[in-house]
């Protein structure tokens, strides 16, 4: 299970140059969301801080797109965005799953008990000695 400290995220949202002044409008929109901290980190960029149990980048960017904001679509940004979407989706799924008990040694102990013990080697004697 993921420790609670790993769910706190800091992500950048980069906007397309047109239309102008959309960063300020997006800042106002995202600042109204609960448990989300928004900082302006560049002319066309916002930095958001959130807990993964409350928000994810995919939902935030979808909200912005639905409201008419234009996000940056360069190849590098698309790759980073897809990677973050995938990682956060998997981490959220893992947060909802119960921890799997991996320390169940009983089947291994039962198999070990049924094996012959001692110094047993099936290799023929003539193969054991180098001449």
In angstroms, rounded to a whole number, what is the distance separating the alpha carbons of residues 27 and 41?
Answer: 11
Determine the pLDDT at residue 6: 85
Number of domains in the chain: 1
Determine the pLDDT at residue 1: 43
Report field, pTM of the whole predicted structure over 0.75: no
Query: What domain range includes position 84?
Result: 4-96
Q: Is residue 33 part of a domain?
A: yes
Across the range 2-23, mean pLDDT stands at: 85
Q: Is the Cβ–Cβ distance between 70 and 15 less than 8 Å?
A: yes
pLDDT of 99 higher than 90: no
pLDDT of 22 higher than 60: yes
Instruction: Say which residues have a Cβ less than 8 Å from residue 41's Cβ, sequence separation at least 6.
Output: 12, 47
Q: Is residue 84 part of a domain?
A: yes
pLDDT of 115 higher than 50: yes
Report the CATH number at residue 54.
3.30.70.100
């Amino acid at each position: 299970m993921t420790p609670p400290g790993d769910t706190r995220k800091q992500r950048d949202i980069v906007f397309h140059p047109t239309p102008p002044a959309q960063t300020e409008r997006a800042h106002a929109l995202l600042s109204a969301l609960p448990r989300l901290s928004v900082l302006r980190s560049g002319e066309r960029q916002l930095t958001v801080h959130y807990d993964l149990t409350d928000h994810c980048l995919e939902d935030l960017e979808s909200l912005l797109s639905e409201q008419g904001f234009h996000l940056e679509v360069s190849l590098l940004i698309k790759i980073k965005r897809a990677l973050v979407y995938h990682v956060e989706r998997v981490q959220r799924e893992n947060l909802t799953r119960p921890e799997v008990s991996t320390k169940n040694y009983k089947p291994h102990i039962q198999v070990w008990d049924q094996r012959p013990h001692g110094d047993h080697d099936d290799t023929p004697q003539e193969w054991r000695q180098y001449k």
